[in-house]
Structure formats: structure tokens, C-alpha cells
Amino acid sequence: MSIVINTPNGSIGRGLAEKLLAAGKALTVISRSPDKVAELAKRGARVIEGSIDEPAVLERALAGAEALFWLTPPATRPDYHAWAVQAARAAAQAVKAHGVKRVVVLSSVGAQTGRGTGPVGVMKEVEAAFLAASPHVTVLRPGFFMENLLRSMDSIAKAGAIFQPFPADRRVPMVATGDIAAKAAEVFLDTAWTGHRYLGVHGPADLSHREVAEILSRELGKPVQYTEVTLEQARQAMLGAGMPAFLVELFLEMYAAIPEGRMDAAEPRTAETTTPTTLAHFAQDVLRPQLAASAR
């Protein structure tokens, strides 16, 4: 009996895999490129080669499995919504067919809203697929990733500024992906929970982008200003950076949903949803080295 991870190459899936192997759990990972998970294989992980949208791959991975961690990959195709939902439904059918006991679904704040929230708009249907297929499901709904600030490192290095179409004083939960992986591992290693539940993963504090800039100024050792731009300015900047048009529109849809409250966390902040990595520590450990590299 093993735990299956469908996305072992990203920071969350890889972090979870390493924690489960360290805890002595039998692990199966799905990867289109076995060389990318060679280190996990050396540590005992079983590797199923292929894509998560291939029924035969799901069958091989989930046969005899005890649990599944499902993370919907980032948007890389114009039919992202339909593809992501169909892949989740196929996996959920396999979960039901093989009697997989537990599922942990990585979702997002704002998932309760459904469509109209950009990349997050797929999550409500992804959640529903697994909730209908398995009696024991934990849906993790993390806040905004601290890692998203890496996209602003070039503008911080060159202009001392973050430019986003995000209300400057609107506070949102911000969390490091390492803490999300740790929370997922905690859920898998806890054998006491049953039924269906939603669990927020909120980081240590809700922060506004104005507060983010103040923290980064202090921790990076240089002034950082936050500048709120319009959706149209953001569109032109993303297109100018070479982002595909379909992805630009998805992000703009999400940004438009934020001031309307459609991307707010549905789950209240509690001791259980609060995770330890502060933005100050994240800036020291992750952003400062990136800034130094940008300055070379």
C-alpha cells in the first residue's frame, strides 16, 4: 500500500515526497520524465512514467494505493479549465474503482467562488470530483504563495518596485510553499481524521502589498515601493514579457476578482491553519539570494 503523488517535480509535490519518504512511507510518483524523480527513486519511491491525464497511467499508479495527493498543475494550455477538470474526474473515478481510502486535494483560497477567478476557477470542480468519489477527503486551501514574489525580482532589482494590479492595502494570507508541503505531510501522517473537510493554509499573517514592500525594504537592504497598476497596464506588461495571451487573460480574471472579495479565504484563520514561515524569513532565505544574482 502506498501514497501516490501526481506532481512530484514542483516545490510542493517534491517537498511532500521527501517528507513522506523520511517518515518511512511507501510512495508512488507519477512523472513524464523519470530522470526528474531519479533521486526519489533512489530513496525507494516507485515511479510511474506518463501523464496524469492518461487513464492507463492513473490505473497503474492507483492500483493498491492507500492514499492520493492531487495537485492541479499550472495553466499551460488554452483549454486549461476543461483539461484540469477532466483529469481530476478521471483520477477520481480511478480512486473510487480501486477503493483508495484517503485523498488530499491541493486547492486554493477563492476556490469556493468557482469559475471567474482565473486559474483558481477550476478548483471548485476539482474538489467536487474527489469529494464525490472518496469518503475521506481533505481539501487544502492555501493562501497566496510567497514564491509569487519571485516574478517581481527583476523590477525590484532594477526599479526598486513591485508593480501589480492588486489593491495596495487589501490584506491576504501569504504562505511559503514549503509550509504547504509540510501541512500536506502532516495530514497524511495523521491517521485519525475521517470524512470530508476543508483546511486553510494561511501562513503566519495576512499582509497587504504595501506591508510586503515595507518588509522587503527592511530584509533586502534596499528601498522597495509598491505601485498598483491598472489591469490594462498589467495586460501590456505580461504580453510584453512574452506570456501567452490565454494565460494573461486568466491572470487578469483572477486580479479582477480580488477587490470584489471572490478570492478571499473561506476558512477562518486558526492555530491549525497558521503556518510558521514569515515573509521576513522567506525574504532572507529565498529572495535575497535571487536579488544578489540579479545584480550580477
Residue 102 has pLDDT above 70, yes or no: yes
Looking at residue 158, its pLDDT comes to 92
Identify the DSSP state of 266. S
Starting at the edge strand that comes first in sequence, how are the strands of the sheet with 67-71 ordered?
A: 46-49, 27-31, 3-5, 67-71, 102-106, 137-142, 196-201
147 in Cβ contact with 160 (< 8 Å): no
pLDDT grade for 172, boundaries at 50, 70 and 90: very high
- pTM (2 d.p.): 0.96
CA dist 201 and 267 (Å) reads: 9
- Between helix 245-257 and helix 231-240 the angle, nearest 10°, is 150
DSSP code of residue 23: T
Q: Which CATH superfamily is domain 3-145+175-201 in?
A: NAD(P)-binding Rossmann-like Domain (3.40.50.720)
**What pLDDT is stored for residue 295 in this prediction?**
65
Mean pLDDT, the chain, as a whole number? 96
Report whether pLDDT(229) > 90.
yes
pLDDT digit string (tens) for 6-65?
Answer: 999 999 999 999 999 999 999 999 999 999 999 999 999 999 999 999 999 999 999 999
Q: What is the spatial distance between Cα 36 and Cα 42, in angstroms, rounded to a whole number?
A: 12
Structural domain spans, the chain: 3-145+175-201
Question: Which run of H or E residues covers position 162?
Answer: strand 161-164
294 falls in which pLDDT band (50, 70, 90)? confident
Q: Give me the pLDDT at residue 292, please.
A: 84
Distance CA 260, CA 170 (A): 11
Exposure pattern of 45-74 as b/e (b: 16+ CB <10 Å)? Answer: bebbebebebeebbebbbeebbbbbbbbbe
Q: What does R_g of the chain's alpha carbons equal in angstroms?
A: 19
Task: Tell me if 162 sits within 8 A of 156, measured CB to CB.
Answer: yes
CB 176 within 8 A of CB 203: yes
